[in-house]
Chain A
């Protein structure tokens, strides 16, 4: 059975060792600062975005696209319409940086519970649900392709 990609597993393990909230927050803010690199390109999607790409339950208005690579793997692109949605932006960057081009089986194996390892257990229910929704959408894109191929 596949497990999540090594890069993501290592990041999750590293974040779990951080007990200082400020240190965790600083790392995640630095991550969110790279959001423009993973923002969906105009040639892929233009506003208003279709609802089918909207992350359910994400109050930061996050959207996810999966772009097929010739080798059968995926690149993920995102947008977060709420400029205050820093956590959603950080989540998007983490997923793109660790999952793009990885085997679909590994992407499908990502557990949405990683949001609590990355962001801490004190997330609100709404925030946790939104971030887990981003992970679930990414995971479902990989699963859908795996199911179609089987």
Chain B
């Protein structure tokens, strides 16, 4: 049995809500439930009643440049899904909330911090036999004014990563051990992984993102277990300037969420260029 969120010792327990909480807020006009998945078929196959979909590729990314949407695009998205600056948005999704935390992170780039994540994600909701629907809701459009995107506080770019390495500061590579070691790019018949070189950014610790969740129900591990992984085992200093990365920044947004909100580390950034950028850059150092 999973321990109640409030009893897990998180720095910010308020950013997580339970499936019970969501059930009791299905009709709350101040709450917008948002599903974000990797698999594009999941939301149309059934979702939490009243939930809207925010698609990482279509809704959160610029369709031309490799970048996230800009302020006008974010405002249009929020208007379309009927969200105001006062709305509490609750994210959930597949892959143990991997994409939900990615959307959570992008919303934070635009200052929409009135956001929560449903612990256990879509899999837990389904496993508990809770109501699902194929009905796609519509909400009255809103007038939403967002601040300019903040790319400094929680986002890191390649030059900053280079300076970070040179300063000997910590990085967390949240990919699988095979990706971290560079083995994966060399295995026969593997699909194109989008990088010319395998390996990891020098000095990065390898903590696969999924270690932060309980395998049986996808809920987040309690803080003592998370501290054991990130602090005792990997030696991360909670007060250090930390950069997390993966392949395109989605898995590392999950780790960013864990370190920032569940453990309370104050200086964590997500390098969304991640390995698809670093593994293709000319002349940058790589370790295997």
Contacts and interface: CB of A to CB of B under 8 A. Distances in A.
Interface of A: 21-22, 25-26, 28-29, 32, 56-57, 59-60, 83-87, 90, 112, 119-120, 122-130, 132-133, 136-137, 140
Given A59-B95, A84-B123, A122-B57, A136 B189 contact: yes
A56 B190 CA distance: 6
Contacts of A123: 40, 57
Contact of A22 (B44, B122, B247, B276): B44
Nearest to B37: A84
Given A56-B191, A129-B192, 12 more contacts: A22-B44, A25-B40, A26-B44, A56-B190, A60-B39, A83-B126, A86-B45, A87-B41, A112-B191, A124-B57, A129-B193, A130-B191
Contacts, number: 77
For the complex of A and B, 9 pairs with smallest distance between CB atoms: A129-B191, A86-B41, A25-B44, A122-B57, A132-B191, A29-B45, A84-B94, A87-B39, A56-B190
A140 to B, nearest CB: 6
A126 B247 contact: yes
A32 B41 contact: yes
Nearest to A24: B40
A122 B55 contact: yes
Interface string B92-122: 0011000000000000000000000000001
B38 A124 contact: yes
A59 B176 CA distance: 11
Contacts of B187: 56
Residue among A86, A90, A119 with max Cβ neighbours from chain B (10 Å): A86
A123 B191 CA distance: 14
Contact of A122 (B58, B95, B193): B58
Nearest to B122: A84
Contacts of A85: 39
A128 B250 CA distance: 15
Contacts of A130: 191
A83 B127 CA distance: 10
B56 interface: yes
A127 B192 contact: no
